């Protein structure tokens, strides 16, 4: 069974530029999560989707971050404009039952 | 608000030593607790998941215990090997429906096992 796929794996941008990350969950997993992991910290949930609906986006900085999951399968997370403090690893995870989450390899973002 | 703490933040041990990693959480109303391993530049790999009704789970050289009432979990690694070097994260889940099934993570313990 294929795991959670993410791209790109690495991205370097200048502050105030925009960037987008892509995630393809495990087939059949209705729930998809985006986490932000700043160096030295544990992952923090940004947004959770159930199919193509948002369940929790309470910690998403909505003035600059947006996410969508149009067909209830893959998802895109966008940052526009990026700030220095957005430098982090962005992890995507998916779940079938809600009991266990499976994580992708992450996208490491560096904002200069 | 749930807060998860892991002690120590970093640990270095010689190969073959048995070791214990600690995790504590402030809100005991959890559905389950999960231990993950994270290698540099990689995503998270699930190691053990303990339901709130369970006391412990074992997988190979790993044993995780849960004391829900005191808000504590430990991960025991027996006969450590250099390949165990990684960051270990614990995370708690409040429920399985809606926003309740999000994970709240600790900051991790960075383990180095030396030859």
**Residues B101-112: pLDDT tens digits?**
778 999 999 999
Q: Which of B103, B108, B109 should one mutate to test binding to chain A, selecting the residue with the greatest count of A CBs within 10 A?
A: B103
Interface of B with A in 28-87 (CB under 8 A): 32, 34, 36, 41-46, 49
Gap between the Cα atoms of B41 and A112, Å rounded: 19
- Concatenated DSSP letters for B39-102? -TTS-EEEEEEEETT-SEEEETTEEEEEETTTTEEEEEE-S--GGG-EEEEEEEES-SSGGGG-
Q: What angle do CA A103, A108, A112 make, to 5 degrees?
A: 155
A48 and chain B: CB distance < 8 Å anywhere? yes
DSSP letters spanning A69-97: -TTSS-EEEEESS--GGG-EEEEEEEESS
Q: Is B26 on the interface with A (CB under 8 A)?
A: no
What average pLDDT does the segment B14-32 reach?
95
pLDDT tens by residue, B56-69: 999 999 999 999 99
Instruction: Name the residue of chain A whose CA is nearest to B96's CA.
Output: A98
Residue A100 has pLDDT above 70, yes or no: yes
Are A108 and B41 in contact by the 8 Å Cβ rule? The answer is yes
According to DSSP, the residues that pair with A33 across neighbouring strands are: A48, A93
With CB atoms and an 8 Å threshold, state whether A104 touches B43: yes
At B96, the pLDDT band (50, 70, 90 cuts) reads low
Q: Are strands A53-56 and A44-50 parallel, antiparallel or unpaired?
A: antiparallel
Tens of pLDDT along B49-95? 999 999 999 999 999 999 999 999 999 999 999 999 999 999 999 87
- pLDDT attached to residue B14: 96
Assess whether pLDDT exceeds 80 at residue A13.
yes
Contact B102 A104 (CB under 8 A): no
Peptide bond between residue A81 and the one before it cis (omega within 30 degrees of 0):
yes
């Amino acid at each position: 069974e294929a795991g959670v796929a993410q791209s790109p794996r690495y991205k370097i941008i200048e502050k105030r530029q925009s960037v987008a990350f892509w995630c393809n969950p495990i087939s059949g997993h209705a729930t998809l999560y985006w986490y932000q992991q700043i160096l030295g910290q544990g992952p923090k949930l940004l947004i959770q989707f159930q199919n193509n609906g948002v369940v929790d986006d309470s910690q998403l900085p909505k003035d600059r971050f947006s996410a969508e999951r149009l067909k209830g399968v893959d998802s895109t997370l966008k940052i526009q404009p990026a700030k220095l403090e957005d430098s982090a690893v962005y992890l995507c995870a998916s779940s079938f039952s809600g009991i266990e989450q499976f994580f992708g390899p992450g996208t490491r973002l560096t904002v200069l | 608000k749930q807060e998860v703490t892991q002690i120590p933040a970093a640990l270095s041990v010689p190969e073959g030593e048995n070791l214990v990693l600690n995790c504590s959480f402030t809100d005991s109303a959890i559905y389950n607790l999960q231990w993950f391993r994270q290698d540099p530049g990689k995503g998270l790999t699930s190691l053990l998941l303990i339901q709130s009704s369970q006391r412990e789970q074992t997988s190979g050289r790993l044993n995780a215990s849960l004391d829900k009432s005191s808000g504590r979990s430990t991960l025991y690694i027996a006969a450590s090997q250099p390949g165990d070097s990684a960051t270990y994260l614990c995370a708690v889940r409040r429920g399985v429906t809606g926003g309740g099934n999000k994970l709240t993570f600790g900051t991790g313990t960075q383990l180095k096992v030396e030859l």
